[in-house]
Structure 1
Amino acid sequence: MRLCLDVGGTYIKYGLFNTAGQWEIQGKVTTQRQSIDDFFDPICQLIAEIEKTYQITAIGLSFPGFINQKTGEAVYSGAIAPLHGKNICHELSQRLVKTYPIFIENDANCAALAEMYSGNAQETESFVLLTLGTGVGGAIVVDGQILSGAHFRGGEFGMMVTDFHQNSYRSLHELASTSALMTEYRRVKGDSFIQEEAIFSEIDQPGIHEVIENWSHYVGILIYNLSVTLDPQKILIGGGISQNDRLIPIIEKALEQNPYWHDFKVPLVTCLHHNNSGVLGALHLIETQGGRK
């Protein structure tokens, strides 16, 4: 059995897979961020509980931040501050009774692996995966390989500055994320609450049309810049909002306003695996990395 963990700021999702790649069990535990020990304790408890029934042969980790997947170090660990600069594979291994091969990769890169091996990027050598959520993230695949960058920061699209004269150094995290869209929605609607996946159902309401149009403009700028820089075969879009069928047409409408888009146009498609992408990507990480610890 392979145990795959997708570490997020709120929850750690997990899946146990048999040798045929089929789910045996899945679930989630709360992410503890107070200290290193607090973070690893529920993971170790989960592994001990699973080992009562199953034999784990390898562990895969989808992890936020700048991840050196060759050494296991989290150069930067996102919202899990106690793990900055720590070797995640070593820290976990020394807390376990048994020794397992442990593999780790950045969460967006894991999502790209999931789409490449069993999702909407199959038989695609070069593509970009863009995630729209609390922030803006992503992954770059060139000639079938993840482009991590010299400092493991490849795919940090949300840190782009694209509108300096209007917004100074505000990044695309603050302009193109789903959080940015929802913040502007609440500014217009007051205390109204709506799930992000349903926000486009209100696109014809006064004020909301402008909010969505302005947001899609920033997303379109990002996609255009990625296309002219990387020339991918396609761009995949993930995040909870990508489950809304109206997302792609709204972004494409914004892109069509760019007079240069027709020269650099590439297909836009949503990710297939959505919330399971990190766990599935960790599984593919185990399968592709073999026995390397």
Structure 2
Amino acid sequence: MIKKYLTIDIGGTFIKYSIMDEKYRILEEGSEGTRKNPEEFLKQLETLVLRYKTEVEGAAVCIAGFINPETGENTDDSVGENFRAYNLKQALSTAGDFPVILENDSNCAALGEMVLGAGRGLRDFCLLTFGTGIGGALVLDGNLYRGKHFKAGEAGLTLLRYSMTDGKTSCESAGATSALVREVSRTLGRDVDGIYIFGHLDHPDILKKYNVWLEKAALVTGNTAMLLDPEAVLIGGGICGSPRFIGDLQKTVYHMFPQLEDYTEIRVCETGNQAGRIGALSLFLKQAF
């Protein structure tokens, strides 16, 4: 008899879920809009768990935040209140009466790539995802490295510039894809999206904003590689659908850090939006419940 597992990727806009078997084959999948109200959000997830309660062996869940996988606590104040208001590991385990694992979404994406994607065969690699924010994860010596406070790999929180003038501080971090979209929209005086931007890079104002943003993305990527000396840096996020971006990022990183070209690859992630769910299930299957 095939064992089935409920895998859930909780995002700020959508909750995506799949029923998978032990070989990560998708037997069923779906998505629904993420409720913002904490009580409604919890009820939404409990309803999903109850729907499959009698069919699966347990649930593997990934979500944004600083997640203690043992306790289920999320200590990231930058995520929505709905993500932090309840201990989802405990609540969903109670609702389903089965085991639940809860892990950071970028960490799970890295594991998903190690199982079925661009991280196969690698022992040491980093993952950076460019989206609403910049997510990050580290796999060292074949194992996920979370850090003492479950914040390892958070490259998006690093600063590229810091100064103080007249008692006022000014700092700059690398902007995620959302920052590029905001800058271009402000320049054009109307709202555009990433697809529009990459389709109009021949526009001088758009290209200028893109190049400034690209340099920041390259600095984060190159600094991460220099600090950790991985075999590869994997790049994820919706922007990876643009061959132009990956080529530009590789060229810019290797121009800034020429030594990296000899020993650190910059690879595109391969498992798409299933990465987090695959990685979460890989963690679940390693547990001895």
Q: TM-score, normalised by structure 1?
A: 0.89
Out of 199, 204, 207, which is 2:197 matched to?
199
Give the equivalent residue in structure 2 for 1:32: 35
CA deviation vs aligned residue, 1:230-262 (integer Å, no higher than 9, x gap): 00100011111011111111112322442xx12
Question: Is 2:15 the partner of 1:17?
Answer: no
Aligned length: 280
Out of 258, 262, 286, which is 1:262 matched to?
258
Give the equivalent residue in structure 2 for 1:153: 151
Distance in 2 of aligned mates of 1:28 and 1:85: 22
SS in 1 for 2:122: coil
Give the equivalent residue in structure 1 for 2:62: 62
CA deviation vs aligned residue, 1:205-225 (integer Å, no higher than 9, x gap): 121221111111001111111
User: Is contact 1:116–1:124 with CA below 8 Å preserved after alignment?
Assistant: yes
Distance in 1 of aligned mates of 2:14 and 2:227: 34
Distance in 1 of aligned mates of 2:159 and 2:45: 37
Give the equivalent residue in structure 1 for 2:228: 230
Distance in 2 of aligned mates of 1:125 and 1:78: 31
Matches within 5 A, 1:208-227: 208-227=206-225
User: Is contact 2:8–2:15 with CA below 8 Å preserved after alignment?
Assistant: yes
Matches within 5 A, 1:1-293: 1-35=4-38, 37-51=39-53, 55-76=55-76, 78-84=78-84, 86-94=86-94, 96=95, 98-165=96-163, 168-172=170-174, 176-191=175-190, 193-194=192-193, 196-258=194-256, 261-265=257-261, 266-291=264-289
* Matched AA of 2:34: T
Compare 149-158 and 278-287 and name the one that shifted more.
278-287
* Matched AA of 2:178: S
Distance in 2 of aligned mates of 1:284 and 1:110: 9
Distance verdict in 2 for CA 1:272–1:7, change over 3 Å: same
Q: TM-score, normalised by structure 2?
A: 0.90
CA RMSD of the aligned region, Å? 2.0
Residue 199 of structure 1 deviates from its aligned partner by 2.3
User: Is contact 2:181–2:192 with CA below 8 Å preserved after alignment?
Assistant: no
Identity %: 32
User: Is contact 2:21–2:27 with CA below 8 Å preserved after alignment?
Assistant: yes
User: Is contact 2:184–2:192 with CA below 8 Å preserved after alignment?
Assistant: no
Distance in 2 of aligned mates of 1:130 and 1:16: 26
User: Is contact 1:75–1:86 with CA below 8 Å preserved after alignment?
Assistant: no
